[in-house]
Amino acid sequence: MKTGIICTLAALLLCFSANAQETHISSPDGRIVLTVDNSSDLNYRIAFDGETIVARSPLGFEFVGEEPMTGGFMLTEKPAARIMSEEWTPVVKNKHAKVHEVWNEATLKLQENGDLRRKMDIEVKVFDGGLAFRYHLYDDHRLVTREISREMTGFCLPDGANAWVADYEGHVTSQEKEFFKTAVSSIKPETVAGLPLLVEAGPQKWLAITEAHIDNYPGFFLGAKDGSLQTMLSPVPGYENVKVRFDDEITTPWRVVLIGDNPGQFIESEIIRTLNPPCAIEDTEWIKPGLCAWDHWWSGEVRMEMDVIKEYIDLASAQGWPYMLIDWQWYGPYNEAKADITKPAPQLDMPEILRYAEEKGVRIWLWLYSSDVNRNDAYKEAFRLYQKWGVAGIKIDFMDRQDQYMVNWYRRIIEEAAKCQLMVNFHGAYKPDGIERTWPNMVTREGVMGNEYNKWGTGITADHNVKLAFTRMLAGPMDYTPGGFLNVTADGHKAQQPALVPNTRCAELSKFVVYESPLTVVCDHPEHIIGQAGSDFLKLVHTQWDEIRFIGGTPEEYIAMAKRNGEEWFIGIMNNSVKRSVTIDTSFLGEGSHVITYWSDGKNPTDVVKKTIKIKAGKPIKVTMNSAGGYVAVIRPE
């Protein structure tokens, strides 16, 4: 469902300076004001509650073989201010069953004053929870192909601001790093900071920088330049100075700045998805996310055999999960010329696997290496074959890029998969951009330093896990692959097989509530899960939600979320490395008495204390968590 309300309210929404070279667009509640200045060099600034949170920052482009477009513009017409309202229903309920957003918008039509007379539009949308802008560039009859060498968009942040930075160190990256709290002033020119970038600009002044609706354009990183953070576009492979090629007109992705009193508001936000076009799939009944068992790669040595696959199908069936993922080597050699993604390895009987899975009420996902998918467009035949087999979805791995060509490849894969009624999970992937609104078969992706790193070393800490909710997760779904049940203390953790997890069992359970991933892939071995403490919670928890609430925490302490599916509320609280007690407000519950069943930390990392009690709506809940601990609960009306 979609509704739009448009009216001109120039006096309230948009105003000009006396010389008509500054345009001011405010949010519906008036707290956020974006100012675009075309008096000399093109620039913008942002104010929140009357205070500048993004100071004078550049806009525009540099090109290969033509003059930059960075200043000397005039407005060809007075921007028409509009208030817009949209209500839409997600196919996959990542956060809400219904989304309703209101914003003020305007388009600035600019033309150069000089001889070139090139044109550029800047489209602006200002919401109560943030803002977004994007450029539209036109063709130039003097040039067959235009090439962008640099996008000038910058973010000049306040003195003393801190950011949570994941430095990917280069443009070819799987985007799997830890986010570290860093003074913005200390970010270096050589830093390749990933998005989203969470920023504490001052007391109760938070923002997060990211992007939405990436199409025929590279994703961007951030680095320091000329006193501000600057956009760094991923280059066209083999052409370091060429970032974007276009023959006709081109529209950039939305440059998004989420703004609020606390970073928890950004977790609830639907701005990024709303900035994407409506669903492009007519029949969506086949798109059904859920929990998924994952064969033995994470929990032991690879042994691609029939008995192993059936063991994991049995796990999914016993737990009531709809899916089981068959990972690498199911088609034998991979990432080489002889790899054939249409033929199972000789030791596998695919018809028998599919028969057995159907008998157990489970559907299969298949892993694919990206080069094998792309070779001679092999995916087109393979996807049609998988549809005949009754495969539910595909996990494609090792892209590790976000340049213009790779972005367009993602879209081709997603669209072709939709034609064959296949859901998609990208690994070795760039961060989400809200595309799941348009193509809801793209149910999750990696681009996160997740549980698999516990197999290799000690990088996954409780502090890292908490920060993920306030950083990477702001962009959208993340396939962290929770569910490690060999829980140990941080001191007791080491790299081994089967993999250990340095947090409590309840902290591991909390990831299923806190983290957003409509397809949630469970990492551990059947023997470590079935009948173990907390496995009963994994039979209850959902992956889609009618409503979510941030109920407490900070990136440096803990994260607490409440999520509703039907009449049931699920609470997930994840603690960092400092033992603490927190009090949770339950005013989000409906009136009357409720029954709460909770799972809390015991003495040892694998211990779980489970209890059922009655509470009244609004009665606070006190929760005590161990270091690297957690808490989960299910609340139902009495």
Q: What is the pLDDT of residues 300-333, one digit of tens each?
A: 777 899 999 999 999 999 999 999 999 999 999 9
Say what the pLDDT of residue 573 is: 98
Average pLDDT, stretch 496-508?
A: 96
Helix, strand or coil, per DSSP, at residue 184? helix
**pLDDT reported for residue 20:** 58
- Please, what is the average pLDDT of the chain? 95
Does residue 8 surpass a pLDDT of 70?
no
Judge if the upstream peptide bond of residue 263 is cis by omega within 30 degrees of 0: no
Strand order in the sheet with 244-246: 61-63, 146-151, 244-246
CA-to-CA dists, residue 417 to 93, 281, 392, angstroms: 20, 11, 10
Residue 227's pLDDT band (boundaries 50, 70, 90)? confident
Report DSSP letters for 464-496, one per residue: HHHHHHHTGGGGS----------B--STT----
Task: Specify the pLDDT at position 16.
Answer: 52
- Quick one: DSSP state of residue 328? T
Structure tokens at 558: 């803990």
At 19, is the pLDDT very low, low, confident or very high (cuts 50, 70, 90)? Answer: very low
462-470 helix and 505-514 helix, angle to the nearest 10 degrees: 10
Mean pLDDT across the stretch 197-207?
A: 97
- The Cα–Cα gap between 197 and 264 comes to 14
Tell me the CA distances in angstroms from 615 to 316, 432, 512, 536, 538, one per residue in order: 33, 38, 24, 22, 23
- Euclidean distance between CA atoms 178 and 68, whole angstroms: 36
Do 65 and 171 meet the contact criterion of CB atoms below 8 Å apart?
no
* Residue 7 to residues 4, 32, 464, Cα–Cα distance (Å): 10, 20, 46
pLDDT at 457: 82
Domain residue extents for the chain: 10-274, 290-561
Could you tell me if 184 and 199 are in contact, meaning their C-beta atoms sit under 8 angstroms apart?
yes
pLDDT above 90 covers a percentage of the chain that reads 91
Residues in CB range of 441: below 8 A, 6 or more apart: 281, 287, 393, 414, 417, 418, 421, 422, 423, 424
Structure confidence at residue 189 as a pLDDT band (50, 70, 90)? very high
The per-residue pLDDT for range 440-494, each reduced to its tens digit, is 999 999 999 999 999 988 779 999 999 999 999 999 999 999 999 999 999 999 9
Question: Which among 437, 363, 372, 445 has a CA at the least distance from the CA of 402?
Answer: 445
In the sheet with 14-16, reading across from the earlier edge strand, the strands are 14-16, 22-26, 32-37, 43-48, 51-58
Is-contact 474 198, C-beta < 8 A? yes
Residues 53-65 pLDDT 10s: 999 999 999 999 9
Contact (CB, 8 A) for 444 and 519: yes
Q: Which residue, among 183, 147, 153, has the nearest Cα to 165 in the 3D structure?
A: 183
Rg (CA), the chain: 25
Q: Nearest-5° angle of CA 295, CA 300, CA 305?
A: 50
Phi and psi angles of residue 594, each rounded to the nearest 5 degrees, phi first: -135, 150
Mean pLDDT of 37-56: 97
Question: Is the pLDDT score of 581 beyond 90?
Answer: yes
Mean pLDDT check: name the lowest of 294-298, 526-530, 578-582. 294-298
* pLDDT higher than threshold 50 for residue 217: yes
Tens digits of per-residue pLDDT, 233-262? 999 999 999 999 999 999 999 999 999 999
User: What would the pLDDT profile of 104-152 be if each residue is shown by its tens digit?
Assistant: 999 999 999 988 899 999 999 999 999 999 999 998 877 789 999 999 9
Percent of the chain with pLDDT over 70: 97
Is the CATH code 3.30.70.20 the one for domain 10-274? Answer: no
pLDDT of the residue at 21: 86
Structure confidence at residue 6 (pLDDT): 41
End-to-end CA distance of the chain: 33
- The answer on pLDDT for 407 being more than 50 is yes
290-561 CATH fold: TIM Barrel (3.20.20)
pLDDT tens-digit map of 260-273: 999 999 999 999 99
Residues 552-572 have pLDDT tens digits of 999 999 999 999 999 999 999
- Pairwise CA distance, residues 179 & 197, whole Å: 9
SS3 at position 308 = helix
Nearest to 551 by CA among 538, 564, 542: 564
Of 298 and 612, which is predicted with more confidence? 612
What confidence category does residue 211 fall into, taking pLDDT thresholds of 50, 70 and 90?
Answer: very high
Task: Give tens-digit pLDDT for 337-348.
Answer: 999 999 999 999
